[in-house]
Homo-oligomer: A and B are copies of this chain.
């Protein structure tokens, strides 16, 4: 049976884009419950200046807790070398450096050109190696399917930057539809080209559900061989620099789809729904997304086994 990993990014991509500040205790509760529900990869925060994202100011503390859970890959987002030095010092298992393939979005979001971000990744790699650290480096190529500021983003530019990140020392790369512009055909096309170029070093797909195609895009990426997907519990999240980009793919909906497809995720979907209800209580007034919480499970819950036997 093929398996897939649903990487929880709600604590980072989700919480960074909503106003409510979730307490450190609740974040730890979230991580513990997600771990108990079977999640083994969690992006716990971001090493950005606290004045920019006060919601994530406790990332070091949250990461320290996550590291106590056996087998959990605890990752953080790092916007630059300074953030990466903190991730290395804190012993994150993985750090994700975002790069925006849209020149305009890159300047607005990171105040650097895409190629300046590639150069930063080379400095991060040098720092990681100098420290003798085992923190993996993932280059996340965002706005890979278009951009709210610039409009179209050329596939050739996405592929060039992805290769440049690997050449600069990234251990792996991922592709993100930061603003919800992707469709299944463009996903299939770009992910196939990317896989041809870099093989299994293409490690993750990150989709938003802005125009209802989040799960369709995950399915299209899955068909090209992708087995790791970013998702946010309750579909929270977006991009503060991309107006209208509301809602990451919803963790529990994606887990349910994969399990129904017969893809092993190791996840306890009812436990994820129970966690959703807890998180919902901490985010009163925030826009949540997803469908499974409302529709419930099908009668005679089949998941993979019965589905295959039918």
Q: Contact: B215 with A261, CB < 8 Å?
A: no
Residues 179 to 223 of chain A near chain B (Cβ within 8 Å)? 179-181, 183-186, 209-216, 218-220
> A185–B152 contact, CB under 8 A?
no
- B299/A147 in contact, CB under 8 A: yes
Q: Which of B155, B211, B246, B306 is A310 in contact with, Cβ under 8 Å?
A: B155
- B155 and A257 contact, CB distance less than 8 A: no
Q: What are the residues of chain B within 8 A of A146 when measuring CB–CB?
A: 298-300, 302
Residue among A209, A213, A290, A302 with the most chain B CB within 10 A? A213
Please pick, from B220, B246, B298, B299, the residue contacting A219 in the complex, using a CB distance under 8 A.
B220
From B181, B211, B310, give the contact of A291 (CB < 8 A): B211
A287 to B210, CA, bound (A): 19
Instruction: List, in ascending order, chain B residues with CB within 8 A of A148's CB.
Output: 298-299
Given contacts A253-B212, A291-B212, contact A152 B300 (CB under 8 A): yes
Q: Is there an interface contact between A250 and B212, defined as CB atoms closer than 8 Å? A: yes
**Within 8 Å CB of A295, what residues of B?**
180, 210-211, 244, 246
Contacts A211-B257, A219-B220, A244-B296 aside, 6 further interface pairs with beta carbons under 8 A come to A152-B310, A184-B219, A210-B291, A213-B257, A215-B216, A246-B295
Point out residues on A near B: beta carbons under 8 Å. 146-155, 179-181, 183-186, 209-216, 218-220, 244, 246, 250, 253, 256-257, 260-263, 290-292, 295-296, 298-300, 302, 306-307, 310
24 contacts between A and B (CB under 8 A): A146-B298, A146-B299, A146-B300, A147-B299, A148-B299, A150-B299, A151-B298, A151-B300, A152-B300, A152-B310, A153-B310, A155-B310, A179-B298, A181-B298, A184-B257, A184-B261, A185-B260, A185-B262, A212-B250, A212-B290, A213-B215, A215-B216, A216-B257, A219-B219
